[in-house]
Amino acid sequence: MIWLGRLLAIAAKETRQLARDRVTFGMIIGVPILQMLLFGYAINFDVRDVDAVVLDQSRTAMSRQLVGDLQATQVIRVVRQADSERELREIMQSGAAKVGIIIVADLERRLFEGDRPAVQLLVDGSQPGLEDLAQGLGSMPVLRRAGAASLEIPRFDIRTEYNPARRTAVQIVPALVGTILTMTMVIFTSGAIVRERERGNLELLITTPVTRGQLLIGKLLPYVAIGLIQTTLILVVGGALFGVPMVGSLLDLYLGALVFIAAALALGLFISTIAQTQFQAFQMAFVTMLPSILLSGFMFPFEGMPEFAQVIAQVLPLTHFNEIIRGVVLRGATLGDMRIPLLKLVLFLVVMFALALARFRKRLD
């Protein structure tokens, strides 16, 4: 039984090492809890309060009642009123609204005749999960006739904008750019400082006249080029294999990708200043990637998440980059239209780099 005693001794030694490694011990407990919260609570296909813009060409009590009844379903939330169809499409193109509602001028006549659509629903096909929402909204009995006990179902003309064929690949492939960049950029840089320390190179860097800022920026520059190459590769392959269109400006796309790549690298660099080993750095990078992928609207409707999950998603750079790349690639939006998510990315970049710079010292301890 000597061999059993030796095995138990090694197992006891490994257990003590795991107990002393706080990051690993935290991962043992934290990752299952995080996954249960994300999959069981934060991810929800029951979408509510989708931002909508209304063009009311009828401007009657009946049309106002129709809009009120549509909002009463809690499926949509009217955030803008448009004065023309052009303005409505510009609002949708900028991402300020994901559903457009056009109420025809002769609403009451069409309701009475019942042979022509009385309402046109435009749904943003660049976002996942919204087509089914529009179909469900179009079949809801939402309009009450004055003095009648029954409900009317107005005929809806539902159109999917920016993805008329309703192909999932068109929605997913552009968002894959940010997802893949998040995985590669954060992992690449999360071990940057730790790797130098473990290999003994940090001692040599300390003796050089290079400043902390120059050292950190210099470490990021090669990965910026790698990130742009990956962006090009995904878009080219996505266009060739899946027919993903490129509606907007390539310059706007690459400028937005450049900011996002820098933000992801800054996050990885900040992790690198916290981790003590490369294994710890990889663990921390994994913990940041899981919420980013699941809460960013990459596969699941952003509006389906509870408010606390949406607040967390607003902190994640991938959430804002998905808005930018889908807007530019599929809707033809400009960076001016995407200025709000772009500013959020810039803010994240500045904060993460400042934290990494504050934590990094040119010394071995």
pLDDT at 275: 77
pLDDT at 43: 67
Determine the pLDDT at residue 334.
92
* 312-356 residue pLDDT tens: 888 899 999 999 999 999 999 999 999 999 999 999 999 999 998
Q: Where are the alpha helices (DSSP H) in 200-211?
A: 201-206
> Each residue of 166-221: pLDDT tens digit?
888 888 889 889 999 988 888 888 877 677 666 665 656 566 666 777 777 887 88
Maximum Cα–Cα distance across the chain = 93
- pLDDT tens column, 240-297: 888 888 999 999 999 999 999 999 989 988 888 887 777 777 777 877 887 888 888 8
User: Considering the chain, what is the average pLDDT of its residues?
Assistant: 81
Phi, psi of 124, rounded to the nearest 5 degrees: -75, 105
Percent of all residues in the chain with a pLDDT value above 90, rounded to a whole number:
25
Tell me the CA distances in angstroms from 112 to 117, 145, 148, one per residue in order: 11, 10, 13
Question: pLDDT class for 147, splitting at 50, 70, 90?
Answer: very low
Report residue 351 as tokens. 């904060």
- Which pLDDT belongs to residue 185? 87
Beta partners for residue 55, in sequence order: 102
Residue 54 banded pLDDT, cuts 50, 70, 90: very high
Distance CA 3, CA 83 (A): 83
Distance from C-alpha of 53 to C-alpha of 75, rounded to nearest angstrom = 13
Mean pLDDT, to the nearest integer, of 78-104?
A: 91
Domains in the chain, start-ordered, CATH in brackets?
A: 50-161 (3.40.1710.10), 168-359 (no CATH)
Distances (CA, A) of 314 to 10, 35, 87, 294: 45, 19, 27, 13
Judge whether residue 158 has pLDDT over 70: yes
Check residues 147 and 312 and name the one with the higher pLDDT: 312
Residue with tokens 């435009």: 122
Q: What is the mean pLDDT of residues 102-111?
A: 85
